[in-house]
Amino acid sequence: MLAGNARLKELIASLISKGREPHSLIITGEHGQGRKTAAKYISQALLCEQQSGTPCGRCLACKKIKNGTHPDVMFLKANENGNYQVDTVREIVSDAIVSPNEGRFKVYIIPDFDKSGITGEQAQNILLKLIEEPPEHTVIILTADSKEAFLSTIISRALALSVVPCSVQECAEYLGTLQKYSYGEIGDAVSAIGGNIGKCIEYLEKENIFFAVKYARDICKALTDRNEYVLLMTLTECDCKKGLLRQTLECISGIARDSAVISMGGSATGCDKEGAMVLSGRLGAAGSQKMYEVICNYIKKLDSNCSKTLTVNALCADLSVL
Ligand SMILES: [Zn+2]
């Protein structure tokens, strides 16, 4: 079930109750914030037997969508590189003409559309035909980090919605309903991550983000203690697993930003509020700002595939002189 996001739910309910169901939607938002869950929610709202605009969660259609077995809700899968095959997109266009199997609508969900670099524009041009003149029973939902991924011709014809992070309380309540984690674990997760449910679950399941937060806290402490040895060791350690260094740097950039904010009288929101407080005492506003810029620069370098070992050594040197 989609937690929070009351405005999105109200808008969908209002459109459906007026019989103005959207045929093309774009859902944007940060990773983990529930774009796919929102797409599922909208499919349920469209196909729920109660037709109230809000999914009842109990009828057969709602249940089938929840379990991923509804024949009229299609989740597209990209290949291992994140690309959608042009042929798969063509199949949607021809399949969309065929009436739904059991529901009022046929819903095609294409998640992470912006990750499909190679076929993105070509795929959009093929989809455009469908989006310009959709059959009465067809709904297409595309998800991405931001709207920038889409051609203006698509944006102008689609209803653009964004998923927003839940409050920490809404997130903790939702995690509690999963009946999988203790109160203590949930408290840890929301204090490190905030209201992003997807990322909190990754943290609780000890995926990369859990270690990224741990390493970022260690690095923050090493900077406060001016311990260059621990700094280099920790950076090297988090460099041993794919994607972990980048995630750790993102966490550290949040700590640096918090440190700058605290120096200017604001309050912290990142994964290490206490660490940021101590760090701000050492670096001050200007030093924290400089640290933030240094980290962001290295994230850019990582993204442009610079040699990682070089990056770690140079980053350590740059941070040590702050
Ligand atoms: Zn229902």
Tell me if 191 is assigned to some domain.
no
Residue 197 Cα, ligand 1 centroid: separation in angstroms? 24
The mean pLDDT of the chain is 92
Decide which of 131, 162, 193 is a domain's last residue. Answer: 162
Answer with the one of 162, 177, 196 that is the final residue of a domain: 162
Measured in Å, residue 53 CA sits from the centre of ligand 1 at: 10
Q: Which pair of tokens denotes residue 24?
A: 């093309």
The alpha carbon of 7 and the centre of ligand 1 are apart by a number of angstroms equal to 20
Mean pLDDT of the 173-189 span: 96
Binned at pLDDT 50, 70 and 90, residue 129 comes out as confident
Residue 184 confidence (pLDDT): 97
- Using a 10 angstrom Cβ sphere, with 0-12 exposed, 13-18 middle and 19 or more buried, the burial of residue 313 is middle
Expressed in angstroms and rounded, the spacing between residue 161 Cα and the centre of ligand 1 is 22
Is the pLDDT at 308 greater than 70? The verdict is: no
In a domain, 231, yes or no: yes
User: Does some domain include residue 63?
Assistant: yes
Centroid of ligand 1 to alpha carbon of 54 (angstroms): 8
Tally the domains of the chain. Answer: 2
Rg of the chain taking only CA atoms, in angstroms: 23
Would you state the pLDDT for residue 121?
84
Residue 309 has pLDDT above 70, yes or no: no
* C-alpha torsion sign, points 198, 201, 206, 212: positive
* Alpha-carbon span 129 to 122, nearest angstrom: 12
pLDDT recorded at residue 128: 92
Residue 294: other Cβ atoms inside 10 A: 18
Is 154 inside any structural domain? yes
The answer to whether residues 154 and 233 belong to one domain is no
| Ligand 1 centre distance from Cα of residue 18 (Å) | 18
Place of tokens 């959608």: 84
Residues 297 and 229 in one domain: yes
pTM over 0.75? The answer is yes
163-172, 237-246, 281-290: least confident range: 237-246
Q: How far apart are CA 198 and CA 222, in angstroms?
A: 29
Distance 79 CA to ligand 1 centre (A): 32
Write phi, then psi, for 7 (nearest 5 degrees).
-65, -40
| Residues 152, 233 within the same domain | no
Question: Domain residues for 214?
Answer: 208-320
**152/237 same-domain check:** no
- Ligand 1 geometric centre to CA of 57 (Å): 5
Ligand 1 centroid to residue 149 C-alpha, Å? 32
Identify the weakest region by mean pLDDT among 42-51, 87-96, 114-123, 132-141: 114-123
- Looking at the fold, whether 232 and 122 belong to one and the same domain comes out as no
CA of 42 to the centre of ligand 1 (A): 11
Provide mean pLDDT across the span 132-143.
94
pLDDT in tens, 139-174: 999 999 999 889 999 999 999 999 998 899 999 999
Tell me the CATH number at 14. Answer: 3.40.50.300
Q: Give the rounded percent of residues in the chain with a pLDDT score beyond 90.
A: 78
Residue 51 domain-assigned (yes or no): yes
3-state secondary structure the chain: CCCCCHHHHHHHHHHHHCCCCCCEEEEECCCCCCHHHHHHHHHHHHHCCCCCCCCCCCCHHHHHHHHCCCCCEEECCCCCCCCCCHHHHHHHHHHCCCCCCCCCCEEEEECCHHHCCCCHHHHHHHHHHHHHCCCCCEEEEEEECCHHHCCHHHHCCCEEEECCCCCHHHHHHHHHHCCCCCHHHHHHHHHHHCCCHHHHHHHHCCCHHHHHHHHHHHHHHHHHCCCHHHHHHHHHHHCCCCCHHHHHHHHHHHHHHHHHHHHCCCCCCCCCHHHHHHHHHHHHHHHHHHHHHHHHHHHHHHHCCCCHHHHHHHHHHHHHCC
The separation between the first and the last C-alpha atoms of the chain, rounded to the nearest angstrom, is 46
Same domain, 158 and 10: yes
Shared-domain flag, residues 147 and 230: no
What is the pLDDT averaged over residues 210-217?
A: 97
Of 143, 162, 181, the one marking the end of a domain is 162
CATH of the domain at 298: 1.20.272
Query: Would you say residue 178 lies in a domain?
Result: no
Q: Are residues 260 and 126 in the same domain?
A: no
**Looking at the structure, do residues 36 and 143 belong to the same domain, yes or no?**
yes
